[in-house]
Amino acid sequence: VTRSDEGVDDRELIARHNRGDSDAFRIIVERHRDRLWRVALRTLGNADDAADAVQDALISAFRSAGNFRGDSAVSTWLHRIVVNACLDQARRRASRPVVALADDESRPATAAPDTLAARETAAEVLAALRQLPPEQAAAVVLVDVEGYPVAEVAEILAVPTGTVKSRCARARARLAELLRDFDEKGGGNPGSTRPVQPLNDDHPDSGEELT
Amino acid sequence: VTGPQVTPGFGPDGHAELGALAELDESLLEETQTRQLDVHLQTCVDCRDQLGRIRATRALLSALPAEPMPTDVVRRIDAALTDAMQTATVLPATKRRRWFTSPAFAGVAAAVAAVGLASALIVSRDNGSGGSNAEKGGAANTSSTPQHAAGLAAPQNTVKQWQTGANYTPSNISVLVPGILAGTPTPVPSPAGEDASPNTFSGTNTKSAATESYTREQLRSLPNLIACAKILNAGDAVQPLAVDFANFKGKPATIVVIPTHDDPAHVDVWIIQTTCSNDSLMPVYRVPRPS
C-alpha cells in the first residue's frame, strides 16, 4: 500500500480493483478491517468465529466487487457483507451438536482495557452479547457499540429504521437483565437488584412493521 | 374466569416491563402507553432504576474497548486474499505487455509469424456427429491432425481447441483452465443449438495481416488464432496453448490461453468477448500453470 493512495476515495479504489489493480482492494481492507473486526467479534462473541466470518466476507467482497453499484458507501457495503457472514456463522454455530465455550478471555486483546475491573466488565458485556439472538446483537453492536447512525444501520441490515430501533430496544432490555447478575457479583453497573420480568423472546418482533 | 387486568407494558406486579422501558427510551411506544409509563416513572423508584439500568447498559456497550484486528487475523486474511488473487489475477493495464513497447513490434510482419506458427501440430476435439459436448466433455480426442506440412521452425507444442460451453468466471478460471490444458475439460451441458464446433482448425487466414482484428468466431481459424496470440503477447509471436469457444460471465467468449511472458509457472488467460485486436480492452487473468 503506497501512502499516495491515502487520499483516494473508497469508490475509486473499487473501480481500480475492478480494472485489475491488485493493490486497491488491500487498501480498502486496511482502511476498514478494524471496524469490521469489532462488529464481527461483538456480534458473534467469539474470536475464532469472527475471524472466519470476516475472512469469508472479505473474500466474497473481493470477488463480487464487480457487482458493487455504488448505491451505498463502500463501508456500508462491506459492513453488510460482514454482518451477513456473521449471521450465517451464527446459524452454523447454532446447528452444531455441541456448543463450545467461547474463548474471548483466552485471547489477549491487542489494546486491553487499563484495569482488571474494566477487562472483566468488557468480558461480561461480550458474554451477554453472545446470548442475544444474532440479529439483535448485530443491531445493538452497530448502534450502541460502534455508534453508527440508525439510518446507516438500517441500510447495512437491509431493514427499516424502526426495526433497527426495536431490535436495539429488545437487545438492551435483555442485556440489562443478563448483566444484572454481574452487578450482583460486584460488577460495575449500578442499579437496583429488583427481579425483573423475563422478556418473552418468542413473540414476534413487532418492530418489523415499523418504518 | 379471567385473571387480573394487566396494562400493556406493565407486569402482574404493577411494575413496568423492562422491554417496555427500553422501547420507551427509544420512543417506539404509542402515545397512550408512553403517557402511562411516564406517569408511573414519576412515582416508582424501582422502575426509574430499571430505566437507568438500560441506559447504563448503553453506556457499557459504548465503552467497550476499540481494539484493532489482532495481527494473526490480519495475516490470515492477507494470506487468504493473496490466494484469491493468485487463483485468478486480473492483470492491471500497467502490467500488460504493450504492443508498441515490444522490441518484436518493429519489422516483424504479423503474417510471417502466423505462417511460421501455423505449422504447429494441432490437437482438436472431435465432437463427432452425435452426442452432446457434455457427454464427450471429459474425453480427449486421441487423434492429432497436422494442419500444415511445411514446418518453418514448427514448435512441438500443440494447440488444444475446445468447445466446452463452460461458463468461465473470475472465480472458476483457475479451475477450468488446467482442464483444457490437460485435455480433460470440465464437462458442462451444451446449450441447445450450440453444438456446431468445427472439429479442426481451418487452415487459411481469413483476415489480412494488416487488419489485426479478429472476431472471436474468426479464431476458429488457426492462422487467425496465432495472429491473435501475437497481439495478446504484445507483438511477440507465441504459440497459444489452448482455446475454448465457451462463455465468460454468461456471455459467449473465446478463451485463449498463452504462456506468460518470462514466467514459466503461469499462463495468461485472455477473454475475447468481441474482437482480438490491439485496441480492444480484453480481460486477462493469470493463473498457475499446471505441472
- Residue A161's pLDDT band, with cuts at 50, 70 and 90, is very high
Residues B14-33: pLDDT tens digits?
888 889 999 999 889 999 99
- Looking at per-residue pLDDT, the higher value among B32 and B145 belongs to B32
Residues of A in contact with B25 (CB under 8 A): 169, 172
Yes or no, beta carbons of A172 and B56 under 8 Å apart? no
- Residue A86's pLDDT band, with cuts at 50, 70 and 90, is very high
Q: Is the pLDDT of residue B132 over 70?
A: no
Is B41 in the A-facing interface, judged by CB distances under 8 Å?
no
Residues B99 and B278: their CA atoms lie apart, in Å, by 7
Assembly ipTM: 0.79
Q: Is the pLDDT of residue B168 over 60?
A: yes
**The predicted structure's pLDDT at residue B183:** 75
Residues A10-26: pLDDT tens digits?
999 988 887 777 788 99
Mean confidence (pLDDT) of chain A? 79
**A:101-160 residues touching chain B, CB 8 A cutoff:** 107, 109-113, 118, 121-122, 125-126, 140-141, 144-145, 147
Distance from CA of B91 to the nearest CA of A (A): 5
Q: Name the closest residue on chain A to residue B25, using Cα atoms.
A: A169
Residues B71-122: pLDDT tens digits?
999 999 998 888 877 665 555 554 555 543 344 433 333 433 333 333 333 3
